[in-house]
């Protein structure tokens, strides 16, 4: 198939690769330190041209790693950071040029040069069947719910409920996918109860 990566049996830097995985030759892996198994791909995954997988040293952070489920498609030029932990559940779609960033730099109260400050970490989880649109950014510590959609170019700074459609910078939920309203209502109730508890405390 023209433009579709070939099936490969291994790729340097990936510790476990499922069957029928398609990985373009230009996919790159950056990892530091220990050789602890930290990057796994499920069956029938596709990583297209220019995808970059990045992890730190698993010995330095317990959540470090990239775990990709079955039938996940990561389109051209996407950047997947697993320093703080990244999980893509089955059937996730990652659009071209999307960035999933599970680590950053402390910016307050430290050294005046940002690159001398310690890293900050937060695991990212993208639920089954979710779609991250082209050029979107998902920041550390965020969970994207099952079947959710993140609009192209959005910047996701907080959790997105299952089956929600979120757009903008920062991303805001604009509605639920048609036919999938119930999970959002349950999430709205959970947020209300959380606010109520904080008010009472």
Q: Which of the residues in the chain have pLDDT under 50?
A: 182
pLDDT at site 70: 98
pLDDT at 147: 97
pLDDT at res. 174: 94
Q: Find residue 80's DSSP bridge partners.
A: 53, 100
pLDDT (tens digit per residue) in 129-138: 999 999 999 9
The answer to whether 142 touches 159, Cβ cutoff 8 Å, is yes
| Residue 50 falls in which region: left (phi positive, over 0), alpha (psi -120 to 50) or beta | left
pLDDT of res. 171: 97
- pLDDT one-digit tens code per residue, 61-93: 888 999 999 999 999 999 999 999 999 999 999
What is the Cα–Cα distance from 118 to 84, expressed in whole angstroms? 13
Strands (E) in 75-130, as ranges, are 79-81, 86-88, 93-94, 99-100, 103-105, 119-121, 124-126
> For residue 34, what pLDDT is reported?
65
- pLDDT, residue 56, reads 80
**Which amino acids are annotated catalytic?**
105
Strands 66-68 and 131-132: unpaired
């Amino acid at each position: 198939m023209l433009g579709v990566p070939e099936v490969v049996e291994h790729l340097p830097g990936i510790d476990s690769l499922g069957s029928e995985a398609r990985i373009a030759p230009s996919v790159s892996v950056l990892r530091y330190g220990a050789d602890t198994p930290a990057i796994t791909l499920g069956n029938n995954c596709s990583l297209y041209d220019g995808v970059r997988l990045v992890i730190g040293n698993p010995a330095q952070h317990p959540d470090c790693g990239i775990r990709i489920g079955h039938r996940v498609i990561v389109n051209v030029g996407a950047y997947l950071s697993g320093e703080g932990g990244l999980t893509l559940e089955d059937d996730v779609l990652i659009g071209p040029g999307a960035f999933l960033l599970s680590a950053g730099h402390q910016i307050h109260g430290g050294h005046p040069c940002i690159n001398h400050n310690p890293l900050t970490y937060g695991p990212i989880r993208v639920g089954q069947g979710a779609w991250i649109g082209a050029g979107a950014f998902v920041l550390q510590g965020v969970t994207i719910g099952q079947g959710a959609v993140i609009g192209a170019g959005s910047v996701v700074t907080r959790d997105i409920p299952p089956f929600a459609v979120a757009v903008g910078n920062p991303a805001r939920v604009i509605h639920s996918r048609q036919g999938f309203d119930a999970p959002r209502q349950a999430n709205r109730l959970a947020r209300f109860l959380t606010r109520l508890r904080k008010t009472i405390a």
